């Protein structure tokens, strides 16, 4: 999936998530708020319905108060006269007061008069004994006192629920003792329910607490345990109901009342939420479109341009192309960083191309480029000439003075070749110590002159600081008109160069020996007369023991070059003022083997190579590097060991001050038979004792 599609998908998903979050939040806030309003409204209406029922009970109370506190009623309890019945308890009374029953009882609860009336048929109906007994059992609120209040409320009867009021019968002044109870009742039937509903303008319904209840009443019943509680529950999406319970005159649950109303408030809240969601969706779509457009302009199109430019760079393989940089944001920074990377890669590419054609040490062309030029020359009609030059003794310099010294000679050789050859010459380092030059249309005299300048330049290019002397063997070949085989010319020039190397190899090696001697003078103590004193001491000892003049000359040469291997020891170890570590001692001891290799490589020193290797062996076998002992050690090495030790003790060294002659002689005698030949030690002590 491309970044553009990913961005659009992310925006769409984010907007959807935002919309859903806002929707559910709004639903929780708005709808729940309207549900609370709906609940509050239905609870208020339930209370209105209860008040409507209580108002009906209040009308009965008025009837009871009017009739119970009346002298005629007071006398009727005593005499039960028919005239009272005929004048007052007629059908019109029941119809006008909407009464279903009137009961008079005396103070003992005996029924004096009772009559039931059917308001629908407008005629008297029999009063069941069980109903009459229940009605007769109702008493006023405070018993039978003259000031007893009216007991009104709901009474559950076998044939239904009845709204009743019962008051004490007394005189018109209300001061005489009560002679009985007057009770008036009205059934809570369908007609009464409709009349109360119309009066309170609510859809109400009744059900007996202990009767057969509709399903929704049954669901509400567990939540109604007291008169003050109201339970609200939606019937469906269109209607909501509020329930409460009315107690009977004895305080027990008797009547369940339900108020049913349309869910106008809830639907209004739902409609507001729907409008809100629609507007939110439209705003989200507009916001998403604007965001995608801005993202396209500010990011995606620029990224596409960057990607296209990078593809073009990849396709053309051209690192010189640069990305457009516009603005100061992260994309501009990215483009700038890519441009910096391209510049770095371009530089690295140019560097690699250069390194692919040039030698890193000398800056000349390398062998691969030279061979390309040879291949081109083979196809060319031009006459070509090849010069081959070799640095003499480079391996020996590397092994003794280190590769850093050898690198100096190689760079000097490159400078000599550049100065000696014409500008159009192809000069290359062809191997480790070998150089090659390719020229075109040059005469034999010119080529010979170039070779001569190369040799002369090598002699003049000696390094004064290190004492290195550059010596080069040179060979050349010139193509004839019959052949232009550059490969054959290279082989011919190479053979010529090796012949030149053989002709002056001895003088070259002598030159190298002198170079090493100069290097040793720089790194050792010869400038302080160490070599001269050693030569004098070994000549005195050799003469004393009867060596020939030839042996004495060899012994003096050995004294001069015995430490030639120190040219390969680092200065930090060679000139360290303190004691050497075990690792440094091992490096220092390697100078015997280095010197042996140098002497073996130089014909002038070959005959002392074995002595150079063994000049640190001890008489008791604890020396190095071979662990020889006694007369296994060459005589020359035993002589040099005494002279070198004495001179080292009596002269300044970096690691200690000189000691007196007496102390040096005592040290020699102490180590006779250990480090030194005991016989030679006594002879040497006799010689140095006589020295000033």
- pLDDT tens digits, residue range 473-510? 888 888 765 455 667 778 888 888 876 776 555 555 55
Q: Can you give the pLDDT at residue 144? A: 41
pLDDT higher than threshold 90 for residue 63:
yes
Q: Can you give the pLDDT at residue 668? A: 92
Sign of CA dihedral 64, 69, 72, 74: positive
Q: For the chain, report the end-to-end CA distance as a whole number of angstroms.
A: 100
Q: What angle do the packed helices 530-544 and 635-650 form, to 10 degrees?
A: 130
Q: How far is CA 692 from CA 647, 661, 666, 684, 689, in A?
A: 14, 10, 17, 14, 8
Question: Which of 436-450, 460-474, 537-551, 617-631 is the least confident region?
Answer: 460-474
Alpha helices for 296-363 (secondary structure H):
301-316, 330-357
Q: Can you give the pLDDT at residue 368? A: 86
Q: What percent of the chain has pLDDT above 90?
A: 30
Question: Which of 6-10, 236-240, 332-336, 396-400 is the least confident region?
Answer: 396-400
Q: Can you give the pLDDT at residue 464? A: 47
pLDDT band at 579 (very low <50, low <70, confident <90, very high): confident
Q: Which pLDDT tens digit goes with each residue over 601-653?
A: 776 678 888 999 999 999 999 999 999 999 999 999 999 999 999 988 888 76
CA distance 495 to 477: 10
pLDDT higher than threshold 80 for residue 534:
yes
Mean pLDDT, range 673-691, rounded to an integer: 92
Q: Can you give the pLDDT at residue 211? A: 82
Count other C-beta atoms under 10 Å from residue 205's C-beta.
Answer: 18
pLDDT higher than threshold 60 for residue 523:
no
pLDDT higher than threshold 90 for residue 72:
yes
Peptide bond into 625 cis (omega under 30): yes
Find out whether 131 and 161 touch, Cβ atoms under 8 Å.
Answer: no
CA distance 178 to 150: 13
Q: Which CATH number does 367-503 carry?
A: 3.30.70.270
Q: Can you give the pLDDT at residue 401? A: 67
Mean pLDDT, range 254-275, rounded to an integer: 86
Q: Can you give the pLDDT at residue 526? A: 42
Which part of the chain is CATH 3.30.70.270? Answer: 367-503
For 115, half-sphere exposure in the C-beta direction (CA atoms, 13 angstrom radius) is 16
Burial class, 423, CB count within 10 angstroms (exposed 0-12 / middle 13-18 / buried 19+): exposed
Of 481, 453, 361, give the one whose Cα is nearest residue 414: 361
CA distance 365 to 346: 21
Which part of the chain is CATH 1.10.3210.10? Answer: 512-689
Q: Can you give the pLDDT at residue 317? A: 79
pLDDT higher than threshold 50 for residue 516:
yes
Q: What percent of the chain has pLDDT above 70?
A: 90
- Homologous superfamily in CATH for domain 37-273: LuxQ periplasmic domain, N-terminal subdomain (3.30.450.220)
Q: What angle do the packed helices 530-544 and 549-561 form, to 10 degrees?
A: 150
CA distance 112 to 180: 9
Query: CA-based angle 269:271:277, to the nearest 5?
Result: 105
CA dihedral 131, 132, 135, 138 (to 10 degrees): -130
CA distance 562 to 601: 15
CA distance 554 to 560: 10
CA distance 48 to 31: 25
Contacts of 513 (CB under 8 A, 6+ apart): 602, 604, 605
Mean pLDDT, range 379-386, rounded to an integer: 75
Backbone angles phi, psi at 254, to 5 degrees: -130, -45
pLDDT higher than threshold 70 for residue 525:
no
Compute the mean pLDDT over every residue in the chain, rounded to the nearest whole number: 84
CA distance 537 to 529: 12
Which part of the chain is CATH 3.30.450.220? Answer: 37-273
Of 144, 92, 80, 133, give the one whose Cα is nearest residue 110: 133
Count other C-beta atoms under 10 Å from residue 457's C-beta.
Answer: 19
Which CATH architecture group holds 512-689? Orthogonal Bundle (1.10)
């Amino acid at each position: 999936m491309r970044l553009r599609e990913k961005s659009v998908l992310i925006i769409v998903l984010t907007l959807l998530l935002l919309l859903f979050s806002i929707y559910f939040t709004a639903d929780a806030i708005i709808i729940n708020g309207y549900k609370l309003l709906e609940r509050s409204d239905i609870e208020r209406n339930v209370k209105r319905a209860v008040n409507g029922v209580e108002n009906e009970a209040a009308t009965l109370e008025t009837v009871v108060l009017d009739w119970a506190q009346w002298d005629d009623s007071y006398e009727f309890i005593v005499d039960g006269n028919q005239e009272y019945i005929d004048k007052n308890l007629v059908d019109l009374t029941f119809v006008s007061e909407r009464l279903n029953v009137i009961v008079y009882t005396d103070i003992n609860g005996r029924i004096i008069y009772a009559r039931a009336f059917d308001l629908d048929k407008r005629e008297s109906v029999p009063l069941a004994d069980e109903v009459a007994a229940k009605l007769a059992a109702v008493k006023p609120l405070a018993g039978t006192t003259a000031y007893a209040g009216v007991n009104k409320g709901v009474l559950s009867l076998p044939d239904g629920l009845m709204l009743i009021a019962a008051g004490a019968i007394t005189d018109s002044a209300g001061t005489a003792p009560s002679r009985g109870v007057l009770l008036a009742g009205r059934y809570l039937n369908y007609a009464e329910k409709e009349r109360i509903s119309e009066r309170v303008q609510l859809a109400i319904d009744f059900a007996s607490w202990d009767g057969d209840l509709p399903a929704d009443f049954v669901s509400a019943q567990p939540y109604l345990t007291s008169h003050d509680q109201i339970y609200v529950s939606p019937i469906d999406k269109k209607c909501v109901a509020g329930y409460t319970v009315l107690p009977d005159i004895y305080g027990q649950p008797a009547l369940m009342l339900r108020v049913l109303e349309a869910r106008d408030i809830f639907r209004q809240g739902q409609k507001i939420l729907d409008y809100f969601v629609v507007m939110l969706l439209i705003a989200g779509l507009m916001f998403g479109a604007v965001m995608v457009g801005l993202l396209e302009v500010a990011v995606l199109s620029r990224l596409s341009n960057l990607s296209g430019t990078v593809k073009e760079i990849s396709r053309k393989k051209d690192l010189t192309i640069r990305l457009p940089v516009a603005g100061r944001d992260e994309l501009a920074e990215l483009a700038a960083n890519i441009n910096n990377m391209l510049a770095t890669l371009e530089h690295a590419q140019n560097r690699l191309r250069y390194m692919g054609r040039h030698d890193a040490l000398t800056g000349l062309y390398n062998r691969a480029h030279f061979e390309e030029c040879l291949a081109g020359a083979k196809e060319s009609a031009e006459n070509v000439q090849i010069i081959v030059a070799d640095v003499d003794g480079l391996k020996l310099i590397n092994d003794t003075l280190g590769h850093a010294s050898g690198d100096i000679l190689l760079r000097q050789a490159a400078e000599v070749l550049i100065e000696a050859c014409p500008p159009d010459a192809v000069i290359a380092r062809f191997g480790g110590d070998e150089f090659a030059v390719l020229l075109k249309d040059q005469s034999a005299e010119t080529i010979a002159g170039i070779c001569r300048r190369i040799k002369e330049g090598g002699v003049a290019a000696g390094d004064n600081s290190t004492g290195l002397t550059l010596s080069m063997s040179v060979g050349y070949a010139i193509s004839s008109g019959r052949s232009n085989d550059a490969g054959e010319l290279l082989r011919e020039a190479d053979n010529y160069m090796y012949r030149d190397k053989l002709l002056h190899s001895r003088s070259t090696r002598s030159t190298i020996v002198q170079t090493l001697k100069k290097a040793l003078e720089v790194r050792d103590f010869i400038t302080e007369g160490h070599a001269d004193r050693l030569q004098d001491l070994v000549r005195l000892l050799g003469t004393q023991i009867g060596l020939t003049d030839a042996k004495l000359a060899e012994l003096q040469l050995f004294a001069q070059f015995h430490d030639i291997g120190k040219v390969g020891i680092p200065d930090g170890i060679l000139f360290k003022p303190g004691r050497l570590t075990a690792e440094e001692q091992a490096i220092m001891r390697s100078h015997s083997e280095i010197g042996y290799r140098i002497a073996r490589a130089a014909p002038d020193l070959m005959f002392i190579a074995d002595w150079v290797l063994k000049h640190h062996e001890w008489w008791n076998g604890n020396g190095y590097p071979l662990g020889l002992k006694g007369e296994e050690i060459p005589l020359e090495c035993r002589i040099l060991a005494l002279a070198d030790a004495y001179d080292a003790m009596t002269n300044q060294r970096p690691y200690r001050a000189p000691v007196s002659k007496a102390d040096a002689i005592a040290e020699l005698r102490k180590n006779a038979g250990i480090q030194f030949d005991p016989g030679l030690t006594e002879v040497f002590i006799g010689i140095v004792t006589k020295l000033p």
